[in-house]
Amino acid sequence: MRDFARKSDIVCRYGGEEFIFVMPEIFAKKALQRAKSLREAVGHIHLRYGGVALTQITISIGLATYPKHGENRHDLIAASDLALYKAKNTGRNKQNCIKKNSI
């Protein structure tokens, strides 16, 4: 993930299998494009264990923007969680930005 981060971005683990990727000064459309590129790059990772190919790695990404989806970290995390669950519930391995009226 750090390979996809700009100097101004912040990438950190948030819970067991969740990460937060803060992208300051970026529009939602560009952030979704970057999320798609990250998701596609992860899809090209092929892992092997003991000579056996493991299942393909996939990621689902939920996106929220400030101040449209929240004005503090709690609201933004809640909004991005909603977007993440929608991505997972509509087939997984997707990126999704929450709609304002979905909050």
Q: Is 17 a catalytic residue?
A: yes
Catalytic residue (choose from 17, 25, 40, 71): 17
3-state secondary structure the chain: CHHHCCCCCEEEECCCCCEEEECCCCCHHHHHHHHHHHHHHHHCCCCEECCEECCCCCCCEEECCCCCCCCCHHHHHHHHHHHHHHHHHCCCCCEEECCHHHC
Catalytic residues: 17
